[in-house]
Amino acid sequence: MTRLVYDGTFEGLLTAVFEIYDRKLGAVNIQKSGDTNIAMFEEVLNVTTDEYRATRVLNGLRDRLSANGVQRVYIAHLAGIVNEENNIIGFIRYAFDAKQNIEENYGNRYVQRVSEIVKMMRREKHRMEAFIRFQKLQDETYYAVIEPDFNVLPLLIRHFRNRYADQKWMIYDIKRNYGLYYDLHDTEFISMEFSDVDSAVNVAASFNGDEEVYRHLWKNYFKSVNIASRKNTKLHLRHIPKRYWKHLTEKI
């Protein structure tokens, strides 16, 4: 068994795949750098991310999978789920070793697992698109905090650029400590330093003067459309899980 240690990037993962075929490795176990859980008698190979090698593997995937299939591999890795790299590597190796397209072969455990991860990611993406609540800051920027189960921030770019093209906005993932900023022209990833998580969430000192009024109006509207006799808590929790409530204006 060979343990491959990579830097956690998608390019690093593809480089690891190149190493597997270049060195003709059989059973492998891949992990991100920083994890020192090494088994006895296990050979360790530190993978240095190489753009050329990663591109060769990516081009090989494009020859064997549809554009959607390649995207599924990327999304599965983007999710950032602990210890899922081996399933993604298994999917990629299966794609290279098979003589036909394997994307719909759900009898294979790697294909099935990648499909499950992609579904979880897309479900979380849709929830973020529905649940994000912006607050207007003093510099006219609309600011929102999210704390998704998976790393979906890169998947939100198109939706929010199209929907709020005429406004400056920032969406910050406090769980992963990075955000997305749109300045009316370009979108970029940013990282900010906060003394603690509460500082990232509570930016009340920077609110626009009208923000509290709008928040109050939104809460009143939410209450007015809520029909007590039709209250269905179980259904409500199914559509809006409780873990999202702390970032919803109408729930605060």
Q: What's the whole-number mean pLDDT along residues 38-44? A: 72
pLDDT at residue 88, rounded to an integer = 98
Cβ distance 211 to 139 under 8 Å? no
Residue 34 has a pLDDT of 77
- Cα(13)–Cα(244) distance, integer angstroms: 31
Burial class (CB in 10 A: 0-12, 13-18, 19+), 11: middle
Residues 6+ apart with CB under 8 A from 141: 168, 169, 170
Q: Quick one: pLDDT at residue 195?
A: 56
Report the C-alpha gap between 64 and 99 in whole angstroms: 9
What pLDDT is attached to residue 229?
58
pLDDT at 37 over 90: no
Most confident of 39-48, 93-102, 188-197, 218-227: 93-102
Residues 6 or more apart from 166 whose CB is under 8 A from it?
A: 184
Q: Which residue did the predictor score with more confidence, 239 or 46?
A: 46
pLDDT band at 193 (very low <50, low <70, confident <90, very high): confident
- d(CA 166, CA 123) in angstroms, rounded, equals 27
| Residue 214 confidence (pLDDT) | 46
**Which pLDDT score, from 0 to 100, does residue 249 have?**
54
Q: Is the pLDDT of residue 218 over 60?
A: no
